[in-house]
């Protein structure tokens, strides 16, 4: 029996550095019935030419519109019965597509299969990137199983499920996958599995990374206010408390100065809480990289936690003051018809 055709859709905007590795990993899959579609969102770095040089189908969004529109454009062009979305900064392991197809075939109640990142970056650039990749690896592996969010960087679903749930919301940037996971998980299971793996070229500079974390934290507020509960997966209550404890720990040294030396234990207790609330992650990193790596990792993670708190705080104020922000996830999901084949 012939394997179902899989449409592997790669949205791209200025990821020329990693796009070639991404496409080559798709071509190296051990799955025989595969079409590769690169959807370029009007890149300016020449990555569109890189895609063409690999002999794959290249489609344009027509105007820079965001990754949601790029994924929708690829899905509209796809001929396969299974859609596999792959971000252009990820290189798949050779058996990833086959594993996803088999899981979808054997489990009709699963609406989407999402993969996990490797602990090492695709392109090693900086200590910040290494810390981020270790964090992302542990958080995903510790969340293996059914989750309530979509990891669209490596994600496969049957085309009929995509048609039933509808396209990615083109009005959203940075949180389109959270919105999609919320919609999909109301009808199907979302499976996060190590059977589908890939190496990720994460941000290697601190400022772009914390800016992204801040934006995502801010934009999640209207969705979580509606859900009134934490997501099922790596965005856990304990990790949220760890972020809050980080903020308190940073300001806590001022307490004994104001209230007296009896309060000097407070900063130590709060920093201990930061570690203890996600102790498994710190233990994993220490075992993998050794004690000399830990000061850098703890410092980077503390910066991430503080950024989450700042983003959520800003988003909460925005949510309280702006009716339109409260309705951010209520907008229509129409697919722009600007795609043009190249």
| CATH classification of the domain holding 149 | 3.90.550.10
Residue 342 pLDDT > 60, yes or no?
A: no
Q: Check whether residue 150 and residue 244 sit in a common domain.
A: no
CA 163 to CA 178: how far, in whole Å? 18
Position 338 pLDDT exceeds 80 = no
Do 178 and 76 have their domain in common? yes
Q: Let me know if residue 220 belongs to a domain.
A: no
Domain assignment of residue 85, yes or no: yes
Q: Do residues 12 and 106 share a domain?
A: yes
* Location of structure tokens 């201990």: 272
Paired tokens of 102? 């088999």
Lowest average pLDDT, out of 84-98, 110-124, 253-267, 295-309, goes to: 253-267
Per-residue pLDDT band at 21 (split at 50, 70, 90): very high
Last residue of a domain, one of 147, 182, 201: 201
Which DSSP category does 277 fall into?
A: T
Instruction: Give the lowest-confidence range in 104-108, 130-134, 250-254.
Output: 250-254
Residue that the structure tokens 């996971």 belong to? 181
Mean pLDDT, the chain, integer: 93
pLDDT digits (tens, 9 = 90+) for 38-78: 999 999 999 999 999 999 999 999 999 999 999 999 999 99
Confidence of residue 271 (pLDDT cuts 50, 70, 90): very high
Tell me whether residue 90 is in a domain.
Answer: yes
Q: Which two tokens stand for residue 326?
A: 């409260």
In a domain, 336, yes or no: no
- Point out the least confidently predicted range of 19-33, 88-102, 156-170, 261-275: 261-275
* 229 DSSP assignment: S
Query: Both 241 and 182 in a single domain?
Result: no
Condensed to tens digits (0 to 9), the pLDDT of residues 132-182 reads 999 999 999 999 999 988 999 999 999 999 999 999 999 998 899 999 999
Q: For 293, which DSSP code?
A: G
Give mean pLDDT, residues 252-266.
88
Condensed to tens digits (0 to 9), the pLDDT of residues 185-218 reads 999 999 999 999 999 999 999 999 999 999 999 9
Domain count, the chain: 2
Residue 93 covered by a domain: yes
Of the residues 144, 179, 201, the one at which a domain ends:
201
Q: Which pLDDT band, with edges at 50, 70 and 90, does 340 fall under? A: very low
pLDDT band for position 335 (cuts 50, 70, 90): very low
pLDDT band at 332 (very low <50, low <70, confident <90, very high): low
Predicted confidence (pLDDT) at residue 331 exceeds the cutoff of 80? no
156 vs 229 pLDDT, higher one: 156
179 lies in the same domain as 285: no
Distances (CA, A) of 210 to 122, 285, 309: 20, 21, 11
User: 40-79 b/e with 16+ CB inside 10 Å = b?
Assistant: bbebeeebbebbeebebbbbbbeeebbbbbbbbbbbebbe
243 in the same domain as 197: no
Which residues pair with residue 116 across a beta bridge? 197
Provide the residue range defining the domain that includes 143: 6-201
Same domain, 161 and 261: no
Instruction: Please tell me the predicted confidence (pLDDT) of residue 286.
Output: 98
Q: Are residues 119 and 15 in the same domain?
A: yes
Mean pLDDT of 255-282: 92
Per-residue burial over 286-295, b if 16 or more Cβ lie within 10 Å, else e, is: eeebeeebee
Indicate whether 270 belongs to any domain: yes
Could you give the C-alpha distances from 321 to 102, 213, 219, 221, 328, in angstroms and in order?
A: 47, 22, 14, 13, 13
pLDDT for res 202: 96
Distance CA 136, CA 110 (A): 23
Q: Which residues pair with 147 in a beta bridge?
A: 190
The contacts of residue 69 (CB under 8 Å, 6+ apart) are 41, 61, 168, 170, 335, 336, 338
Considering the domain architecture, whether residues 71 and 181 belong to the same structural domain is answered as yes
Among 201, 224, 251, the domain-final residue is 201
- Looking at the domain assignment, is residue 230 inside a domain? no
Indicate if 161 and 28 belong to the same structural domain.
yes
Domain identity same for 245 and 195: no
pLDDT confidence tier of residue 260, bands split at 50, 70 and 90:
confident
Which DSSP state fits 4? P
Averaged pLDDT, 262-266: 88
Rounded to whole angstroms, the Cα distance separating 191 from 54 reads: 31
Residue 225 pLDDT more than 50? yes
Any domain includes 106: yes
- % of the chain beyond a pLDDT of 70: 95
The residues, ordered by sequence, that sit 6+ positions from 323 with a Cβ below 8 Å of its Cβ are none
Instruction: Please give the pLDDT value at position 174.
Output: 87
Mean pLDDT of 11-15: 98
Long-range contacts of 181-187 (CB under 8 A, 24+ apart): 181/112, 181/147, 181/148, 181/149, 181/150, 181/231, 182/148, 182/149, 182/223, 182/227, 182/329, 184/111, 184/112, 184/150, 184/157, 185/111, 185/147, 185/148, 185/149, 185/232, 187/111
One domain for residues 267 and 165: no
Rounded-to-integer distance, Cα 138 and Cα 212, Å: 20
CB of 165 closer than 8 Å to CB of 111: yes
pLDDT of residue 13: 98
């Amino acid at each position: 029996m012939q394997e179902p055709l899989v449409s592997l859709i790669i949205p791209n905007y200025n990821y020329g550095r990693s796009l070639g590795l991404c496409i080559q990993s798709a071509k190296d899959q051990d799955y025989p019935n595969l079409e590769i579609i690169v959807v370029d969102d009007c890149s300016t770095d020449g990555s569109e030419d890189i895609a063409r040089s690999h002999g794959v189908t290249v489609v344009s969004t027509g105007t820079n519109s965001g990754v949601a529109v790029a994924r929708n454009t690829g899905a509209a062009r796809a001929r396969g019965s299974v859609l596999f979305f792959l971000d252009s900064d990820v290189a798949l392991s050779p058996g990833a597509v086959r594993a996803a197809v088999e899981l979808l075939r054997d489990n009709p109640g699963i609406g989407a299969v999402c993969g996990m990142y490797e602990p090492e970056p695709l392109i090693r650039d900086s200590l910040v990137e290494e810390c981020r990749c270790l964090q992302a690896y542990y958080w995903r592996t510790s969340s293996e199983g059914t989750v309530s969010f979509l990891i669209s960087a490596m994600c496969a679903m049957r085309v009929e499920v995509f048609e039933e749930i509808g396209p990615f919301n083109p009005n959203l940037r940075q949180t389109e996958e959270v919105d999609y996971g919320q919609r999909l998980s109301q009808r199907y299971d979302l499976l996060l599995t190590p059977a589908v793996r890939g190496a990720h070229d994460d941000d290697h500079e601190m400022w772009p990374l914390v800016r992204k974390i801040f934006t995502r934290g801010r934009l999640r507020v209207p969705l979580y206010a509606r859900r009134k509960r934490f997501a099922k997966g790596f965005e856990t209550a304990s990790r949220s408390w760890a972020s809050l404890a980080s903020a308190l720990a940073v300001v806590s040294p001022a307490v004994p100065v104001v209230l007296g030396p009896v309060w000097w234990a407070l900063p130590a207790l709060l920093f201990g809480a930061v570690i203890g609330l996600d102790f498994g992650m710190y233990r994993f990193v220490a075992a993998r990289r050794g004690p000399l790596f830990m000061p850098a990792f703890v410092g980077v993670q503390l910066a991430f936690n503080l950024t989450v708190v700042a983003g959520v705080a800003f988003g909460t104020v925005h949510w309280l003051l702006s009716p339109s922000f409260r309705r951010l996830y209520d907008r229509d999901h129409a697919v722009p018809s600007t795609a043009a084949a190249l």
